[in-house]
Amino acid sequence: MAPLPTLMLVPTGIGCALGGYAGDALPCARLLAAASGCLITHPNVMNGASLYWSDPRIHYVEGYGLDRFAAGDLALRPVRQQKIGLLLDAGIEPELRQRQLHVAEGCRASLGLNIGPVLTTEEPLEVGLKLGSSGASWGGLAHPEELLRAGQRLKQAGATAIAVVARFPEEAESEALAAYRQGKGVDALAGAEAVISHLLVRELGLPCAHAPALSPLPCEPLLDPRAAGEELGYSFLACVLVGLSRAPDFVSLNTDSILPPSSELLRPEQIGAVVAPEDALGGEAVLACVERGIPLITVTNPSLLKVTPERLGLTSGLLRARNYAEVAGWLLSLREGLMPAALDRPLPPLEWLS
C-alpha cells in the first residue's frame, strides 16, 4: 500500500492538551506515521528535550517551512544526514554554555551525528517573552540581526541545518511556570522559539530548530508527566539535534533553477491529508490545504483557541475524530482508497444531476 503523505499540525504556545508540553504528542505522531506511511510534522510535536524518537517515516519540518510546503511553494528532499551548525547566544553563561556543548559532543559520540561548526553570536540576542490576550505565548528578540548574521556565517561555513540555543529569561517563581509544570498552563517559551526558527528558515532556506537555555529548576514532586521530559537534564538540545540530523532539505518551486528529479522530492501535490486540532484551524498550513482541496481531519485536542470549522465556514468536506486513534482510522481509509462515508450509517444517497 503506497504511503499517504500527511501533515500533522499542533500549533505551539496555545496549551494544547496533546502537544502543548514536552514532546507529549510524540506517541500520536508515531501512530499517524504508521497509519499514513509518511508523516510531515514540526519540531513542536517531536521535541521532548532529552527524549526523542527517530522514525524514517516522520519528516521533521520547521513551522515556516511546513507552511510554505502546504502552500505549494516548497518541495522537501529527504536526506541521509545533515551537517548541523550550532548557533549559541552570547547571553548564555559559561557553565550553561558548556552544558550545551556536552550535549553536542554526546550526540556526536553516541549517535554519530554530524555537528559543527559552532558559533556564538557577537552580542546577546535578548529574548523577550509575552502572553497575548488569548493567553497564547509569543515573544521576540532585541537583536535579530545578530541571529541572522551568525546563521549566515554557519551556512557559508558549510552547515546544511542550524540548531539554535538562545538564553531565555528565568521565571522560576512565576505562576505561569508553576501551572505549566502541573499540566494546567501554556508553554511560555514556545511563541518566542517559533519566532527564532521562523526567522532563520525564511532568511536562510535551511532546516532550523531551537532549544532554550535555562537554569535547572528545583525538583517538583507533583510534576505533570507531560512536563517531565524537560526536567531530565541541563539542556533541551538533544531532541533538536536528533530531529535536524535527517530533516529534509527545502527545494524552492518558485525558481528557474534546475530541480532535482521528482523521484527525489516530496512535493506539495502529494499531500493526502492534513490533521489539526478542531479548535485551532486558523494556521496558514491548514487554510492552504483547505484551499487546495486536501482532506482535513479535525481532532479533539483542547487549547486556548476557538478557531473551529464553524467559525471558518468549513461545515462540509471534513472528517472529524474524537482522538488520534480515530485519526489513524481515517488515514488508513484514505490510504486504502475507501470512501469515508462508507464507514458510517446512514449511507448518504447518490447524487443526481438534474
Domain ranges of the chain: 6-78+251-343, 84-246
Average pLDDT over residues 209-235: 89
Nearest to 45 by CA among 64, 34, 58: 58
Looking up cell 528565568 gives 170
Residue 181 — very low, low, confident or very high, per pLDDT cuts 50/70/90? confident
- Reported pTM: 0.94
245, three cell numbers:
540530523
Contact yes or no for 107/86 (Cβ under 8 A) = no
Q: pLDDT of 35-87, one tens digit each?
A: 999 999 999 999 999 999 999 999 999 999 999 999 999 999 999 999 999 99
Quick one: how far is CA 105 from the chain centroid? Answer: 24
Domain 6-78+251-343 shares a fold with domain 84-246: yes
Third-level CATH fold of 6-78+251-343: Rossmann fold (3.40.50)
User: Hey, what amino acid is at 265?
Assistant: L
**pLDDT of 172 above 60:** no
What is the SS3 assignment for 46? helix
**The pLDDT of residue 256 is above 90:** no
Residue 159 has, within 13 A of its CA and on its CB side, a CA count of 28
- Mean pLDDT score of the chain: 93
Nearest to 198 by CA among 268, 248, 148: 148
Neighbours of 119 (CB within 10 A): 18
Residue 8's pLDDT band, with cuts at 50, 70 and 90, is very high
What's domain 84-246's architecture?
Answer: 3-Layer(aba) Sandwich (3.40)
Report which of 66, 6, 69 is spatially closest to residue 36, judged by C-alpha positions.
6
CB 147 within 8 A of CB 200: yes
What does the pLDDT average to over 196-204? 96
The string of pLDDT tens digits covering residues 96-130 is 999 999 999 999 999 999 999 999 999 999 998 88
Residues 308-341 have pLDDT tens digits of 999 999 877 799 999 999 999 999 999 999 998 8
